[in-house]
Structure 1
């Protein structure tokens, strides 16, 4: 267990509390030169430093399909946070299929901006996220045709909030 931290009340501060996510960006861990280790609490402000040829790559997702789930669970060693980031990427092409295939060989750090403007950095160099995708054409002409893309993993701490 971690060090004792005093508990306080949990009050909703009010204001805008829109669900869903706006932006998702990713980088394979092989492209990271260094990144700060998240603090126990408080916003993370230090940037990720990239190797030559790497940066944050933006992942388009159809509006209303970008989700972030952080589920605290217990195992024999204490709390673990199971995280999952999913988006629906519409369409299909040889270029997209090649990119998705290449991504299957890597592990990632992902940043997600929710619809209130709050950013989270998910994954670390030692706890990277896995990548999976599922392509479907649907059954009917009105169905969605494309890939559900998912980054997921287990973390020893909840994903830190980052200040941009």
Structure 2
């Protein structure tokens, strides 16, 4: 582990499909949809994997590497100003402004400096148990950890 406090968004395959279907049903040309997803620290993720696999090994922290980000940003401040909260999703409409920037020579906008971005550091954080539950939604983890057999189903 490089930095145990590093955070990353977590999304199940089912949630990803839900996001695509929601965008398909609610979007217009150029819209961007972001699902409000939980995040976890890398330390929590490592511990959850360690517990799922019943590993006795220690988690070694080696320190951050060049270029690593402490957290992920899905919506920056400029986009958050335009974003619409749609419950479990944010909708960011296409930027259809004209390219006439003359007004910004005399006045700007304060909204952007007051907005917060949406990132993995300021969203809901999963506990170790919640992270394990999410990981167990992945078939390859269940097969590996729970010895689930993969069933091949052919439907003509």
Q: TM-score range with shorter-chain normalisation?
A: under 0.3
Instruction: Determine which structure has the larger strand proportion and give its number.
Output: 1
- TM-score, structure 2 length as denominator? 0.21
Larger radius of gyration: 2
- TM-score, structure 1 length as denominator? 0.21
Larger relative contact order, structure 1 or 2 (CA cutoff 8 Å, min sep 6)? 2
